[in-house]
Amino acid sequence: MANQLSGGAPARDMTSEIQKTQFLELSNGVKIAYHHSPGISPGVVFLGGFKSDMTGSKAMALDTHCSKEGRAFLRFDYQGHGQSSGNFVDGSIGQWAADAISAFDHLTQGPQILVGSSMGGWIMLLMALQRPSRVAGLIGLAAAPDFTEDLMWDAFTDNQRSAIEVNGKLEIPNCYDDEAPYTISRHLIEEGRNQLLLRDAIDLKMPVRLIQGMQDEDVPWQTAHRIMDQISGPDVEVQFVKDGDHRLSRPQDLRRLCCTLDGFVEHIVNPALPAES
């Protein structure tokens, strides 16, 4: 459930990462940590999961792959995540989407492919709705739009809901760290309701590719079908991985991601000509 919605692996070696990290300072004093590599277009922007960061295995695999291809690549940390400023418990989907838009606007140029993992899949859809002219395509990995409502609030017990309403927060287990539970705030739940997407049509026309593990215990595989059904554009494909879990971070999963990206770039850059009548 919510305890695995980060969709990423813990950082490997932070020493070199910290040395190379740059910071985008926003007008409100917030500092967004990022790594950006210039290169050919379309560029790629990675959007991490809930309480994940830009040093997870998928972000790093894409960084390495795009570097080999000479393709522009951006990864960053939302507020309260990784090396960025702010406190995680103060965050919300709308705030993190705003962070992503700021990084997108300030640090990238030209068309971009957004790759969203778990919560990042929700963020990428919100971004694409705000910047449709610059988003060339979307790749979702166990994409989890609306998870604060469908996978958290709806799954909480009456006691858990009461704890949030009375105390303003709730602690739930973190499968990545037994000693550091997730703190879910009332603000996260309530603000998330302003960002819900799957209740109505999602007016996006760019191509979309969704990769979903069938053994995902956190995001039901049916969510990928819901996303496909709600997106108005015709070019949406879902790739189910029969033995894939939520993280999709095994070596074969990372290879699949990079191969999917390569094929997607070719599809975007050299779309098939329409059949002659």
- Residues 53, 99, 146, 216: which is the catalytic one? 216
Q: Is 118 a catalytic residue?
A: yes
Gyration radius of the chain's alpha carbons: 18
**260 three-state secondary structure:** helix
The dihedral sign for the CA sequence 150, 151, 152, 157:
positive
Other beta carbons within 10 angstroms of residue 100's beta carbon come to: 26
Are 3 and 22 spatial neighbours (Cβ–Cβ below 8 Å)? no
- Residue 42 is encoded by which pair of tokens? 């379309």
- CA–CA distance, 221 with 260 (Å, rounded to integer): 19
Q: Is 246 a catalytic residue?
A: yes
- Residues 65, 246, 249, 253: which is the catalytic one? 246
- CA–CA distance, 8 with 257 (Å, rounded to integer): 13
Are 58 and 141 spatial neighbours (Cβ–Cβ below 8 Å)? yes
- Residues 118, 146, 150, 253: which is the catalytic one? 118
Active-site residue set? 118, 216, 246
